[in-house]
Amino acid sequence: MIAQTVFPFKLDTSMEKLTAHGGLALMAEFNHGIGIMELTNKYLPHPQSNRGFMPAVFVDPLVLMLEGGGVSLEDIRELKYEDGLMKLIGETKIPSPDAIGDWLRRMGEESEGLWGLDKVRERATHRLLKRDGIKEYTLDADATEIIAEKDEANYTYKGNKGYMPMLGFLYEAKLCIYDEFREGNTPPAFGQKDFYTECKKRMPKGKKIKAYRADSASYQAELINRLGDNPPSWRRRME
């Protein structure tokens, strides 16, 4: 023990498992509470052999890594070394970054995988919306640049190599109701009407989009006419 004579505490050694990411235990509880792991195993393709991992084994640490501020698959190693945190949340299997990368590529190449990911997001979002007590929402629709250091990525209108997915957020709930992956060179104005239609389809029963908020990329006749068929309020977002 180290003697301390200035402040009223003493330093001592401990054999207990410690972690610098204790707050992630709350995020893990939230993830499990809304059923992310259960939904993942229900809707995503299962391994082809009894030696393979179930989908939740890949998704659980991947989501936790992103919630902890990770930006690349290599950041998974931070969780792998956090014995104290893993013991606290009952996590025993952390796949390597390469294994997770291979799994993600398989999901992206298989229509069943992409369909499953969409269903997981949809079901989890519905569970959260049913609890918030709100019936009418503002839809924020916007193309969002993701810069990527990949040879196959295209240049965006901002001059960076990457991707330009379209995202639809419900402002009041702070949730993404729908996303559409797009190549970097896809114009933000492309497919705005269809995107709005898909967002509407994903609203749970008893909930509706009351207002639509977007920038100048959404200022086009076919979308405005579609909004006029079942009009929410129109709000222009200035950049």
Q: Which residues of 53-75 are buried (b: 16+ CB within 10 A; e: fewer)?
A: eebbbbbbbbbbbebbebeebee
- The answer to whether the beta carbons of residues 175 and 140 sit under 8 Å apart is no
In angstroms, the CA 138 to CA 54 distance is 37
In angstroms, the CA 188 to CA 98 distance is 33
pTM of the full structure: 0.79
Residue listed under structure tokens 């003697």? 3
In angstroms, the CA 146 to CA 154 distance is 11
- Give me the pLDDT at residue 239, please: 47
Q: Give how far the C-alpha of residue 27 lies from the chain's centroid of Cα atoms, to the nearest Å.
A: 13
pLDDT 10s per residue in the chain (239 long)?
A: 555 566 777 777 777 777 778 888 899 999 999 999 999 999 999 988 777 889 999 999 999 999 999 888 999 988 888 888 888 888 878 899 999 999 999 888 878 898 999 999 999 999 999 999 999 999 999 999 999 888 899 999 999 999 999 999 999 999 999 999 999 999 999 999 999 999 999 999 999 999 999 999 999 999 988 887 766 655 555 44
- Residue 38: which of 56, 63, 24 has the closest Cα? 56
Which residues make up the CATH 3.30.420.10 domain(s) of the chain?
A: 134-236
In angstroms, the CA 97 to CA 111 distance is 23
Q: Count of alpha carbons within 13 Å of 229, Cβ hemisphere only?
A: 9
Supply 45's token pair. Answer: 């393709």
- Give me the pLDDT at residue 238, please: 46
What is the CB neighbour count within 10 angstroms for residue 23?
12
- Give me the pLDDT at residue 230, please: 64
Match domain 134-236 to its CATH number in 2.102.10.10, 3.30.420.10, 1.10.287.3510, 3.40.50.1100: 3.30.420.10
- The answer to whether the beta carbons of residues 164 and 237 sit under 8 Å apart is no
- Give me the pLDDT at residue 14, please: 75
Helix 55-67, helix 24-33: angle, nearest 10: 130
- Give me the pLDDT at residue 202, please: 93
- Give me the pLDDT at residue 182, please: 95
In angstroms, the CA 141 to CA 154 distance is 22
